Amino acid sequence: MTTNTVLVTVAALIGYALASDKALATLPLAMRQVATMVATIPASLLMQRIGRRGGFLVGALIGLVGAAVGIYSLTIADFWLFTLSTTLLGVSNGFVGYYRFAAADVANESFRSQAISWVLAGGILAAILGPWLAIGSQGWFNSELYIGALVAIFGLQMLSGALLLGLQAPSAKGTHLSTATRPLVEIIRQPKFLVATLGSTVSYGIMVFVMTATPLAMAAEAHSFEQTASVIQWHVIGMFAPSLITGWLIKRLGVLKIIVTGAVLNLGCMGLNLAGTSFWHFAIALLFLGLGWNFMYVGSTTLLTETHTSAEKGQVQAIHDFTMFSFVALATFLAGRVFHRFDWTMLNQMSWPLVLLTLVVVLWLQQGRRHLDRRAPLN
C-alpha cells in the first residue's frame, strides 16, 4: 500500500515531465492498472496451485524488478522505460489485491468483514509513510527529482518479500478440489454478485479517475508539491483509517447501508470539486473520496464473499478483480486525457452519474432484501 501511495504521488508528475505529448502524462499509471487487470486471473489461479504465500512472493519479486527498472529509467530520462517499470509494478499489484481475500480465507463468517477491513487498515501507515517518502526522497539524489521515490519503492518491495518468508498460510493442496462447483454463469447472474462487482468497479474506478488527475489539477492552480502530497496523504487516510471500524459497522448496520453511505460520500467529493479549487476544496473533497471508496470497496468485497463457496472462490474472485481493474485501467488512462483536453470541471461532471447509478442499483437490492425478509415468515 505504501508503494502505491508513493507511486500515485509522483508518477503523473514524472510522466508529465518525461512525455513529449503531455496528454500521455498518466499513461504510466494507466499501464500499471492494465497490468494489474491482466495479472488478476493468473495470480488467482497460481495461488490455487501454489498457495497464498508462494503467490505473494512471486508478486513481490516482480515488484522488485519493476522498481529497479524505474530507477534506471529516471537516470536516463526515458518515458517508455518508466512506463515499463509501472507496468511491472502493476503486475505485482495484481497479486497484492488478494491479501484481503487471504484474510477472508482464514476468518470465520462472523469475523469476515472485519478481517477484510483490518487488512485494508494497513493503509493508515501507508498514508503516513507514502507522502513522507515521496517528499523526503527528493533530496536523496541530485541528478533526478523523483529517483529517490523509486529507490524507496525498491526498499519497500524487499521488506515485503522478507516479511512474506515468515508467512504461515493454509496449504493450497486439496482444499477445494473435492467440492462440486456451479457453472460460472450461474454465479455471475446472482444479483448480489452483480451489485458487489458494480460497487467495487465504480468505487475503485472513480476514485482512481479523480485521484490521478488531482496532482495535475493542483499544479495547474499553482499549488505546491508539498500541498499536493498533503492532499494525497489525507485522501489515503480517508481510504484506510475507517477500516478500523468498517467491518464492525457492516456487522452492525448491514453491508448495503455501508455501500450506500460510500456512494453518498463520493457524490459529496464531486460536489466540492465543482465548487472550487482552493487547497481546502481539494483536501476535503479527496478526504471524502477516500472515505467513500473505503465504505463501497470493503462493503462490496464483503458482499462478494456471500456469492461463492470455497471451491468457487478462485474463479469468482479472479472474474471480479479482472472486471474491476479493467475499468480502473480505463479510468486512469482517461484521467490525463480528459484533464488535458477539457478541464477539472468536465472530469468531475463525468464522474457523478456512474456513482449515482451505483447508488440506485444498491438501493434496488436493499429493497429486494426487505421484500424477501417480509415474506419469509409466511413461507
Q: Is residue 115 part of a domain?
A: yes
pLDDT tens string 324-379: 888 887 887 788 788 888 889 999 999 989 999 999 989 988 787 665 444 444 33
CA distance 288 to 268: 7
Taking 50 as the pLDDT cut, the residues of the chain under it are 174-178, 372-379
In order, the DSSP letters of 260-321 are: HHHHHHHHHHHHHHHH--SHHHHHHHHHHHHHHHHHHHHHHHHHHTTS--TTTHHHHHHHHH
Q: Which of 334, 361, 358, 28 is nearest to 210 (CA)?
A: 334
- CATH number (domain holding residue 148): 1.20.1250.20
DSSP 3-state assignment of 343?
Answer: coil
Q: Is residue 175 part of a domain?
A: no
Confirm if 12 and 29 have CB atoms less than 8 A apart.
yes
Dihedral angle sign, alpha carbons of residues 273, 277, 281, 286: positive
Count up the domains in the chain and report the number. Answer: 1
Q: Is residue 257 part of a domain?
A: yes
Q: Is residue 176 part of a domain?
A: no
Per-residue pLDDT at 260: 94
Q: Is residue 174 part of a domain?
A: no
Cell numbers that stand for 63 in this block: 515488484
Q: Is residue 171 part of a domain?
A: no
Q: Which domain holds residue 54?
A: 2-166+181-374
Per-residue pLDDT at 172: 56
Q: Is residue 251 part of a domain?
A: yes
Per-residue pLDDT at 379: 36
Q: Is residue 293 part of a domain?
A: yes
Per-residue pLDDT at 336: 78
pLDDT tens string 80-107: 999 999 999 999 998 988 887 788 778 7
